[in-house]
Structures are given as C-alpha cells and as structure tokens.
C-alpha cells in the first residue's frame, strides 16, 4: 500500500490492452485510488492479498450501520454515540452524559459495553484525557456476505 511501490503488471498484454482502450489511466495508480475512495466514503480499508500467484482485494461493508448496530444488541444511545463518532471522530464520557442526558454511571456503562464489544477503543490517560474512537472493523467471512 506504499504509494511509491513498483507497479508490475501480472499480464503485460492485458495491461496494455486496458491502457489502450482507456480502462486504466496509468500503471500503478489503482491501489492508491482504491484507498482514497474507501477513506472518502468512510468505508473500512480493504485487504490486499497475493493468492496462488494472483492478486485479491477484499472490500468490507461498513459494519457500523444502524441496522448492524441494532443486531449487535446496542441501545439507542449507544447507536447514536457510534453515529456521532463516525461523523465527528471522537467522544468522551462528559460529552456522552451531556448529549444523552444521563448520569456518569450510565455513560460509563454504555461506553464500557461498546469497548467490550470492540466497537470503540479508549485513547488517553487519566480521567480527564480519555476519549473514545471507532475500532477498525475486524470481520469474518460471515460478516462480509
């Protein structure tokens, strides 16, 4: 995924044909464009694999949709918190309390559940510096289908 990597077409004739009919712009730009589009669309980063002499790209769906979060057993506050973090980038306990009008214990319990389910992870040290970020989705084949 290094943008300065050497591009080596696996099938030169096919690559030349795609270039001639303008299905590709230039050699070696595809992976970088894929990564930029996934980031722009807020999709999980794809996985790149060399498989049996070939090349495979695995795209993952966004598992942090409201539908999937409901299936994970989250309450309405937790779902809204995940959506908030997707949009804003982070959330702390005090913001959670204020946003949802709940006590500190409730906010802590809700956020702890999200960490235990590996939806969020904690960043920072000390009580005042802690905030929560979305975890990078780790999905099984079942999640992809």
Has residue 43 got a pLDDT over 50? yes
Which residues, 6 or more positions from 111, have their beta carbon under 8 angstroms from its beta carbon?
Answer: 81, 93, 96, 120, 132
Nearest CA-CA partner of 77 in 57, 102, 45: 102
With cut-offs at 50, 70 and 90, classify the pLDDT of residue 51.
confident
Q: Give pLDDT, residue 3.
A: 58
| CA dist., res. 145 & res. 139, Å (int) | 10
Has residue 140 got a pLDDT over 60? no
With cut-offs at 50, 70 and 90, classify the pLDDT of residue 137.
low
Q: Is 4 inside any structural domain?
A: no
Nearest CA-CA partner of 66 in 55, 58, 77, 56: 77
Q: Is 116 inside any structural domain?
A: yes
The reply to whether 25 and 87 lie within a common domain is: no
The reply to whether 109 and 47 lie within a common domain is: no
Q: Give pLDDT, residue 33.
A: 82
Average pLDDT over residues 56-60: 83
Nearest CA-CA partner of 107 in 134, 77, 128: 77
Q: Which two tokens stand for residue 47?
A: 């996985």
pLDDT digits (tens, 9 = 90+) for 9-40: 778 888 888 888 988 777 777 788 888 888 77
> Could you give the number of structural domains in the chain?
2
Stretch among 55-64, 86-95, 102-111 having the lowest mean pLDDT:
55-64
Q: Is 86 inside any structural domain?
A: yes
What pTM was computed for the model? 0.58
Residues of the domain holding 22 = 12-58
């Amino acid at each position: 995924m290094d943008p300065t990597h050497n591009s080596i077409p696996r099938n030169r004739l096919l690559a030349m044909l795609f270039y001639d009919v303008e299905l590709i712009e230039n050699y070696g730009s595809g992976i970088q464009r894929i990564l930029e589009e996934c980031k722009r669309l807020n999709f999980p980063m794809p996985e790149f694999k060399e498989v049996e002499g070939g090349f495979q790209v695995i795209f993952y769906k966004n598992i942090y949709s409201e539908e999937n979060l409901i299936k994970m057993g989250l309450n309405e506050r937790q779902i809204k918190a995940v959506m908030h973090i997707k949009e804003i980038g982070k959330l702390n306990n005090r913001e959670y309390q204020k946003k949802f009008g709940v006590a500190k214990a409730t906010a802590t319990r809700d956020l702890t559940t999200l960490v235990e389910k590996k939806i969020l992870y904690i960043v920072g040290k000390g009580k005042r510096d802690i905030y929560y970020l979305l975890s990078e989705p780790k999905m099984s084949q079942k999640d992809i289908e």
